[in-house]
Structure 1
Amino acid sequence: MKEKVVLAYSGGLDTSIIIPWLKENYDIEVIAVCGDVGQEDNMKDIYQKALNSGASKAYVDDLSEEFVTETIFKAIKAEAKYEGKYLLGTSLARPIIAKKLVDVAHLEGAKYICHGCTGKGNDQVRFEASIAALDPNIKVIAPWRIWNIKSREDAIEYAAKNNIPVIATKEKIYSVDANLWHTSTEGGDIENLENEHKNDIYKKCVPLENVCDKAEYVEIYFEKGVPKKVNSIELSPVELVKTLNNLGAKHGIGVIDIVENRLVGMKSRGIYETPGGTILYEAHNILESATLDKETLHFKQIVSFKYGELIYNGLWYSKLREAIDEFIETTQDNVTGSVKIKIYKGNLKPAGIFTENALYDESISSFGDSELYNHEDAQGFINLFTLPLKIKAMKTINDDIINQIAVGEYVE
């Protein structure tokens, strides 16, 4: 009986050529697994394409709900970003897909999992770190690290020689990753930092030049940090993200063009579209500003940076990520309420915070008189707060005088 390999299959350029390549180079049965994380592909076509390409069996499973509830909502509560900008759309999907690959490998008795990640990218680490955490006995086959195909142009030629239909062309050679949360575009002409990215690169968002001229308001309700309603209508997790994606996209929200530091040591440029996610992060941030105390908020910002780094580096199934989640959950106890946002031409403007848990007190914060705050009390606070500065200054002045005396320059 032949050994089995479970292939992370998308139907794109890389995985389309991997099936025949595996069969050419290994005496092995290929089982294709496509995790639907909201990439809006025709899953029936992908299923059939996998079989037509030589897979003995194909699994196509909807993982969208798990994607949102198990990774996206946790990232929102943490407000996790990589290098302060990237909302981790690709990174958040990988642990969910990897878990499905391992589950199918166990079901089918497969000893191998194969992925189509390049040897220069982050995803190879994310998949393999997740697989190692879930089942360290499974071996990984990574064609891009061992075959003679060295570029996407080579891959397109291999597909043509083997009569494998692919969408990518040498003229439009972008590498695109799409899911419910975002779309990322890399490669092609944007690899030259001097080139402005073209508007036709967008898959989700309307270019700013073409957005609607009318402002729009949206109100999002959170319960302990988890978004539940949009404009007072309770939605399922997937529908909530879709609704905000549609709203943000038509106003040009959530497009970033960044040069990031990849885990594998090089810099890369990517165009990311995360319309709904950008709105959710902003709304959650606004609500936290009113409901978290200063020390907790500031420490959470430090933790958020590390949390984003862990996700980006493929360490979702690490103990540290789980431990940080425990802290984050505690911070969300009072993050309940609604945030109203005005959306206009790529911008988000706070338009109201509605919560019973606000630590903001208008009677204290107002510039007017307040029984709870005496202006005169600030004098004593400032005296104590500035005491270390005064001591340092006095010490510096005295040291200067001593030095001047030593060299005979001091004049009283």
Structure 2
Amino acid sequence: MKKYNKVVLAYSGGLDTSVIIPWLKENYGCEVIAVAADVGQGKELSGLEEKAIKTGASKLYIEDLKDVFAEEFIVPTIKAGAVYEGKYLLGTSFARPIIAKRLVEIAKTEGADAIAHGCTGKGNDQVRFELAIKAFAPDMAIIAPWRTWEIKSREDEIAYAEARGIPLPITKETNYSKDKNLWHLSHEGLDLEDPANEPDYNKEGFLEMSVSPENAPDKATYVTLSFEKGTPVALNDVKMKTADMIVKLNEIGGANGIGIIDMVENRLVGMKCRGVYETPGGTILYAAHKKLEELCLDRDTQHYKEQVAVKFSELVYYGQWFTPLREALSAFVESTQQTVTGEVKLKLYKGNIIDAGVTSPYSLYSEEIATFGEDHCYNQADSEGFINLFGLPIKVKAQMELKNGLK
């Protein structure tokens, strides 16, 4: 193996990165600097410094990226309405670019000659990390142990750790692969690997952000969200930062069983995988933002933006955040948000989000025009000419077919 003097490792304290520190030192003889990005995983960061040092790291950076994550990655994605394959709210996807960017910054400061990550060779995260690293340090060496080492499974990792006395927060029986941040919690592995198995949402230790819908309260909860130019700015009339709002909505939504999805998704590397995601606050924000856009966007912009959302979601999922196309699409999205200002009221009940009212000073809805009652601003007779012109191609084609005996 090529030798490196100093390696910066994306460190979470979980199974993969706990094993990677001693593995790097054993195989490369290098100094390992661990970097833990705080993107809202909470208690997972507790005791991390002591653990990293005991495992063999020379130092640990803990970087608070929550506000930047919320404002520069989450909010633009909400504004875009980007949902991968109609279900996944991209919680892991858009957390990776911000982490990778900070890894590069620290690697440059430390004079490191390589960056390492614990992503598997089967997953999407390896792409997301490495594309972002290439965007800011195109010549930086990247070490991905899962693509080269002798370890072949999570069971092998656990055995490797146990042989070296590395403390782990999991056992062979409970080692779901999980990823948690401010936005969501994902679950993969174990019984979830068979799509025929129904997830046991009542299993102790499975759901962490939510309760199952059947265990949610019998009484509905109402929330009111305020937006300014597409950005959420207040919850129940209390102004707050986006990151704080997400935390609060996670509590409210989770208590009502909101935002639990079970999906088989198409990974970038070509395989299908099955996962369960908890995104209570994010699901509420998406629903509120979409409702407000119904009121404030004209038809053609709303419909075209839905097409843009599909491409935007693919770019985020594929790790292409720092690309000209994503930036261009964000510029388009931003231009559509100038009048997306107003308030949305939602009713949360046993996993359901029910619209309960929307208002905006920029509303394009006219009760006077839309009414079924008498009005003085819409001449219904005008529709005849409109239909004749709109239907002219259909009429001409039908006449041709009749003339030629095709009908």
Scaled by the length of structure 2, the TM-score of the pair is 0.97
What are the Cα deviations for residues 90-147 of structure 1, in whole angstroms up to 9, with x where unaligned? 0011011001100110110011000000000000000000000111011100000000
Cα distance in 2 for partners of 1:327, 1:340 equals: 27
Cα distance in 1 for partners of 2:154, 2:78 equals: 34
Q: 1:376 aligns with which of 377, 381, 401?
A: 381
Q: 1:124 aligns with which of 115, 119, 126?
A: 126
Contact (CA 8 Å) 2:128, 2:320: kept in 1 or not?
Answer: yes
Contact (CA 8 Å) 2:89, 2:282: kept in 1 or not?
Answer: yes
Deviation, 1:237, is: 1.8
Contact (CA 8 Å) 2:4, 2:28: kept in 1 or not?
Answer: no
Cα distance in 2 for partners of 1:188, 1:294 equals: 45
1:307 to 2:309 alignment: no
Cα distance in 1 for partners of 2:401, 2:172 equals: 67
Q: Tell me which amino acid in the other structure corresponds to 2:164.
A: N
The answer for the alignment partner of 1:198 in structure 2 is 200
Deviation, 1:16, is: 0.3
Structure ID, larger Rg:
1
Change (3 A) 1:211 1:106: same
Cα distance in 2 for partners of 1:399, 1:159 equals: 79
What are the Cα deviations for residues 168-196 of structure 1, in whole angstroms up to 9, with x where unaligned? 22212210000010000001111011100
The answer for the alignment partner of 2:218 in structure 1 is 213
Cα distance in 1 for partners of 2:274, 2:402 equals: 51
What are the Cα deviations for residues 283-324 of structure 1, in whole angstroms up to 9, with x where unaligned? 000000000001111111111110110000000000101111
The answer for the alignment partner of 1:158 in structure 2 is 160
Deviation, 1:203, is: 1.5
Aligned with 2:227: secondary structure? strand
Q: How does 1:90-105 map to 2 (within 5 A)?
A: 90-105=92-107
Cα distance in 2 for partners of 1:298, 1:398 equals: 37
The answer for the alignment partner of 1:406 in structure 2 is none
Q: 2:242 aligns with which of 219, 222, 237?
A: 237
Cα distance in 2 for partners of 1:337, 1:22 equals: 52
Q: Tell me which amino acid in the other structure corresponds to 1:210.
A: N
Change (3 A) 1:260 1:331: same
Q: How does 1:11-26 map to 2 (within 5 A)?
A: 11-26=13-28
Cα distance in 2 for partners of 1:202, 1:395 equals: 62
The answer for the alignment partner of 2:396 in structure 1 is 391
The answer for the alignment partner of 1:6 in structure 2 is 8
Cα distance in 1 for partners of 2:347, 2:21 equals: 48
The answer for the alignment partner of 2:352 in structure 1 is 347
* Number of residue pairs aligned between Structure 1 and Structure 2: 402
Q: Tell me which amino acid in the other structure corresponds to 1:221.
A: S
Deviation, 1:382, is: 1.1
The answer for the alignment partner of 1:43 in structure 2 is 45
Contact (CA 8 Å) 2:24, 2:30: kept in 1 or not?
Answer: yes
Moved more, 36-45 or 363-372: 36-45
Cα distance in 2 for partners of 1:46, 1:358 equals: 49
The answer for the alignment partner of 2:90 in structure 1 is 88
The answer for the alignment partner of 2:78 in structure 1 is 76
Cα distance in 2 for partners of 1:180, 1:98 equals: 17
The answer for the alignment partner of 2:370 in structure 1 is 365
Cα distance in 2 for partners of 1:315, 1:325 equals: 13
Unmatched tracts of structure 1, length 5 or more? 404-412
Contact (CA 8 Å) 2:187, 2:275: kept in 1 or not?
Answer: yes
Cα distance in 2 for partners of 1:188, 1:395 equals: 62
Deviation, 1:396, is: 1.8
Query: After the TM superposition, which parts of structure 1 deviate over 4 Å for at least 4 consecutive aligned residues?
Result: none
The answer for the alignment partner of 1:407 in structure 2 is none
Cα distance in 1 for partners of 2:373, 2:379 equals: 11
The answer for the alignment partner of 1:408 in structure 2 is none
The answer for the alignment partner of 1:334 in structure 2 is 339
Cα distance in 1 for partners of 2:403, 2:210 equals: 63
Cα distance in 2 for partners of 1:43, 1:272 equals: 21
Deviation, 1:375, is: 1.2
Deviation, 1:42, is: 4.6
What are the Cα deviations for residues 345-375 of structure 1, in whole angstroms up to 9, with x where unaligned? 1111111112110000000011122222111
Q: How does 1:251-262 map to 2 (within 5 A)?
A: 251-262=256-267
Q: 1:170 aligns with which of 169, 172, 187?
A: 172
Q: CA RMSD in A?
A: 1.2
1:247 to 2:249 alignment: no
The answer for the alignment partner of 1:29 in structure 2 is 31
Deviation, 1:2, is: 6.7
Change (3 A) 1:2 1:278: closer
Q: Tell me which amino acid in the other structure corresponds to 1:268.
A: C
Cα distance in 2 for partners of 1:212, 1:163 equals: 44
Unmatched tracts of structure 2, length 5 or more? none
Deviation, 1:44, is: 4.3
Contact (CA 8 Å) 2:13, 2:52: kept in 1 or not?
Answer: yes
Cα distance in 2 for partners of 1:379, 1:142 equals: 66
